[in-house]
């Protein structure tokens, strides 16, 4: 029986392989356009933010923890990419928000069938994190929580049309490099951390962003062996990092 660690390793390796293949495909197509093997007038149909969303979505499909994120990205990217390929007799993009409202209504009716991926909108003052590793998914919902004293080692947060506010000021950052993977699509994340934490933000943004809003940081007392790396992507969404 495979352990959780081995499954996560296989998922990450598969996503890495798929991402590499997509990069190779992009390079091949770009070379074909630049050498004249493909008509240059079609280049803008391939190299745009819509196709980028679809590519990120395809990569996420190869992980059981992020396949739903992949479906959403592919859906959004495809919806805005189709009008570039065909001329419709009506405003196709004007259907996006009405269709989204209809989808939201359907999800509300069927929300019990989504299990842990579809949560009620809830707020918690204190939250115990025994393992030091946080895993959270919010879809059309949100959380607000303060983590009880623990050695924080990272985690994974996914917000799709939702948001979360997490207070980590009472935690201690674990030794070494700690990684927090984030994904925001039409949603956001707000992290409150101690001012002396050494944090590196490595988030890829598509019409979004993730910024460090701390007005003052003091890492002189930090021995530089405790670091937090925030990695992931923000699509039509983002997040911020702040201190009390």
Is residue 230 domain-shared with residue 140, that is, in the same domain? yes
Tokens of 217: 């940081």
- Residue 69 lies inside a defined structural domain of this protein: yes
* pTM over 0.75, yes/no: no
Q: What is the pLDDT of residue 45?
A: 86
Give the separation between CA 106 and CA 55, rounded to whole angstroms: 27
100 located within any domain: no
| CA distance linking residue 22 with residue 47, whole number of Å | 12
> Is 114 contained in some domain?
no
Residues 79 and 130 in one domain: no
Mapped onto helix, strand or coil, the DSSP state of residue 38 is coil
Q: Of 45, 68, 87, at which residue does a domain stop?
A: 87
Q: In the numeric block, which tokens belong to residue 47?
A: 């190299």
Closest CA to 131 of 153, 164, 148, 158: 153
pLDDT for res 219: 57
pLDDT, one tens digit for every residue, the chain (244 residues) = 444 445 555 667 787 888 888 889 989 999 998 898 888 888 888 888 888 888 888 887 887 666 777 777 788 788 778 777 766 555 666 666 677 677 666 655 654 444 444 444 444 455 556 678 888 888 777 788 888 888 888 888 888 877 889 898 888 888 888 989 888 887 889 999 988 888 888 888 777 788 888 876 665 555 568 899 998 888 778 888 888 7
Asked if residue 111 is part of any domain, the answer here is: no
Does any domain span residue 105?
no
> Are residues 72 and 160 both part of a single domain?
no
Strands 188-192 and 238-242: parallel
Contacts of 15 (CB under 8 A, 6+ apart): 59, 60, 62, 63
State whether 124 and 26 are in the same domain: no
pLDDT value at position 1?
42
Residues 68 and 26 in one domain: yes
233, part of any domain = yes
Enclosing domain of residue 232: 119-242
Residue 108 placed within a domain: no
Nearest-5° Cα angle at 206, 29 to 67: 80
Closest CA to 79 of 43, 42, 51, 44: 51
Number of structural domains the chain divides into? 2
Beta bridge partners of residue 179, listed in sequence order: 154, 229
For residues 51 and 130, membership in a common domain is answered with no
Same domain, 168 and 214: yes
- pLDDT of amino acid 241: 87
Output the pLDDT for position 123.
44
Residue 127 lies in a domain: yes
Do residues 46 and 148 both lie within one domain?
Answer: no
- Same-domain pairing of 123 and 208: yes
The reply to whether 147 and 233 lie within a common domain is yes
Clarify whether residues 44 and 131 are in a common domain.
Answer: no
Does 143 share its domain with 237? yes
Picking from 87, 110, 131, the residue at the C-terminal end of a domain is: 87
């Amino acid at each position: 029986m495979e352990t959780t660690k081995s499954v996560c390793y296989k998922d990450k390796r598969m996503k890495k392989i798929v991402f590499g293949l997509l990069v190779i495909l992009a390079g091949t197509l770009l070379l074909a356009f630049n050498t004249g093997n493909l008509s240059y007038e079609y280049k803008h149909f391939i190299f745009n933010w819509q196709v980028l969303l679809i590519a990120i979505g395809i990569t996420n499909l190869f992980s059981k923890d992020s396949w739903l994120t992949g479906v959403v990205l592919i859906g959004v990217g495809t919806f805005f990419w189709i009008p570039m390929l065909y001329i419709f007799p009506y405003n196709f993009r004007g259907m996006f928000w009405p269709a989204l409202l209809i989808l939201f209504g359907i999800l509300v009716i069927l929300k019990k069938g989504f299990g842990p991926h579809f949560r009620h909108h809830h707020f918690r003052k204190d939250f115990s994190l025994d393992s030091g590793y946080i895993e959270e998914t919010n879809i059309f919902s949100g959380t607000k929580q303060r983590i009880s004293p623990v050695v924080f080692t990272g985690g994974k947060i996914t917000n799709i049309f939702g948001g979360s506010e997490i207070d980590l000021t009472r935690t201690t950052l674990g030794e070494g490099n700690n990684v927090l993977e984030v994904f925001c699509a039409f949603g956001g994340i707000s992290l409150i951390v101690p001012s002396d934490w050494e944090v590196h933000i490595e988030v890829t943004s598509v019409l979004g962003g993730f910024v460090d809003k701390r007005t003052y940081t003091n890492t002189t007392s930090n021995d530089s062996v405790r670091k937090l790396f925030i990695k992931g992507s923000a699509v039509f969404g983002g997040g911020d990092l702040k201190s009390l």
